[in-house]
Amino acid sequence: MTTEARPRLRQVSFAHMAGWANDDHQAALAAFQRSCGEIIASGHAFGRDVRYGGARSDWLAVCEAASRAVSARQFFETEFEALEVGDPVRPEGLFTGYYEPEAEGSRTPGNGYDVPIYRKPDDLIGFEASTEKQTGLRYGRRAQGKPTGYFTRREIEEGALSGRGLELVWLKSWVDAFFIHVQGSGRIRFADGSTMRLAYGAKSGQPYTGIGGVLVERGVLAREDMSMQSLRKWMGENPAGARELMWQNKSFIFFREVVVDDPSLGAPGAQKVQLTPRRSLAVDRSLWMFGTPVWLDTQAPSGPGGELKPFRHLMIAQDTGTAVKGPARGDVYWGWGDAAASTAGQMKSPGAMVVLLPRKLAKKYLKQK
């Protein structure tokens, strides 16, 4: 991140955060405790360079205090400093939503189930820093010993991975598969009533392109009318065009089947803990550490008409996404089902973001201003 793009962090009091006193802090604490379980057990995200993440040791004492907390609100107000995030590039902030798509599937191909969901291939690798600097490739494969980009979405869908036994499950619809890719998880329903839970496994490293933006650029849909619902409607009405449109997004996601501990929660996010509807947040992982509590003051669609209503809640950073970049940027996890899909698909709101950092860590970053 360049110096110009650094967020401005300003200490604020909990008393001056609109809606703070009325939130369900216990629900946020439960989600935070799940993050703490991962931090205490492994803390895998601390192996990366996270600008405002601190060290694992900065979080262990807070996690221990979380396990003893009697009053959730008092815990957060005692253990953390609240830092309002100012984004010099996007001062208004941007908060969107995502969800866990559901689709019909089969463990074997045929009878209309012809669209594969793949597990990670063995030849998909992460390149060392020197190779990345030389080629611009973070992920890819080696062809005749030379680093090269991985197959594109079109190449994979036209058979580049066929015959390698990588198929996890088969779906009926390329559109259903595409939206599972975009959301990074999914629930597959089988004819016998059983389900399969899919979680993110890996990405191809090819560039991500938002296909809704492509339709806007082509003049097919107006920017103000663009939503997940309008995009899916157009794709349903234009199946041949939809296939070509999806290929404009060269990025491809691979999955893994997971058995979850708690079926009332979502699939594991990037922190490797199950996501909590309305409490789990995807953030820019180069800036914020997984497990960071984040206060959002924004708006979210509600009801069939998508009327915007205040959304003021304490979230926990437990996930990330290719399109989630920038300091005051978040993607709210809404869960699964039609209501979650509707809200997530329509949410695109400005707002304010306050990160809660352990007190000593917060003071460190405030001194760097």
pLDDT confidence tier of residue 154, bands split at 50, 70 and 90: very high
Q: What is the reported pTM?
A: 0.87
Q: Is the pLDDT of residue 315 over 80?
A: yes
pLDDT confidence tier of residue 367, bands split at 50, 70 and 90: confident
Residue 316 backbone dihedrals phi, psi, to 5 degrees: -125, 130
Q: Is the pLDDT of residue 161 over 80?
A: yes
pLDDT confidence tier of residue 303, bands split at 50, 70 and 90: confident
Q: Is the pLDDT of residue 201 over 60?
A: yes
Residue 203 backbone dihedrals phi, psi, to 5 degrees: -125, 155
pLDDT confidence tier of residue 2, bands split at 50, 70 and 90: very low
Q: Looking at residues 175-187, what average pLDDT do you find?
A: 95
CA-based nearest residue to 46, from 355, 215, 288: 288
Residue 1 has a pLDDT of 39
Report the alpha-carbon angle 3-320-206, nearest 5: 85
20 neighbors 310 (Cβ within 8 angstroms): no
Q: Looking at residues 16-23, what average pLDDT do you find?
A: 97
Report the alpha-carbon angle 168-264-323, nearest 5: 60
C-alpha–C-alpha distance, residues 196 and 89, integer Å: 41
pLDDT digits 0-9 by tens, 228-275? 889 999 999 999 899 999 999 999 999 999 999 998 999 999 999 999
Displacement of CA 42 from its chain's centroid (Å): 21
pLDDT confidence tier of residue 368, bands split at 50, 70 and 90: confident
Architecture in CATH for domain 100-258: Beta Barrel (2.40)
pLDDT digits 0-9 by tens, 74-130? 999 999 999 999 999 999 999 999 999 999 999 999 999 999 999 999 999 999 999
Residue 143 has a pLDDT of 94
C-alpha–C-alpha distance, residues 294 and 125, integer Å: 33
Nearby residues of 79 by Cβ (< 8 Å), 6 or more positions away: 62, 65, 66, 358, 359
- Side chain identity at 318, as an amino acid letter? Q
248 neighbors 209 (Cβ within 8 angstroms): yes
Q: Looking at residues 301-307, what average pLDDT do you find?
A: 82
Q: Which CATH class is domain 3-98+265-367?
A: mainly beta
Q: Is the pLDDT of residue 322 over 90?
A: no
Q: Residue 363 gets which letter from DSSP?
A: H
140 neighbors 150 (Cβ within 8 angstroms): yes
Percent of the chain with pLDDT over 70: 98
C-alpha–C-alpha distance, residues 210 and 309, integer Å: 26
Q: For residue 195, what are the β-bridge partners?
A: 189
C-alpha–C-alpha distance, residues 14 and 22, integer Å: 12
Q: Is the pLDDT of residue 198 over 90?
A: yes
125: left (phi over 0), alpha (psi -120 to 50) or beta: beta
Q: Looking at residues 50-60, what average pLDDT do you find?
A: 96
Residue 323 has a pLDDT of 87
Report the alpha-carbon angle 97-116-156, nearest 5: 90
Residue 5 has a pLDDT of 63
C-alpha–C-alpha distance, residues 328 and 306, integer Å: 23
**What is the rounded average pLDDT for all residues in the chain?**
94
Residue 369 has a pLDDT of 61
* Domain locations in the chain as residue ranges: 3-98+265-367, 100-258
C-alpha–C-alpha distance, residues 218 and 274, integer Å: 38
C-alpha–C-alpha distance, residues 79 and 82, integer Å: 10
Residue 4 has a pLDDT of 46
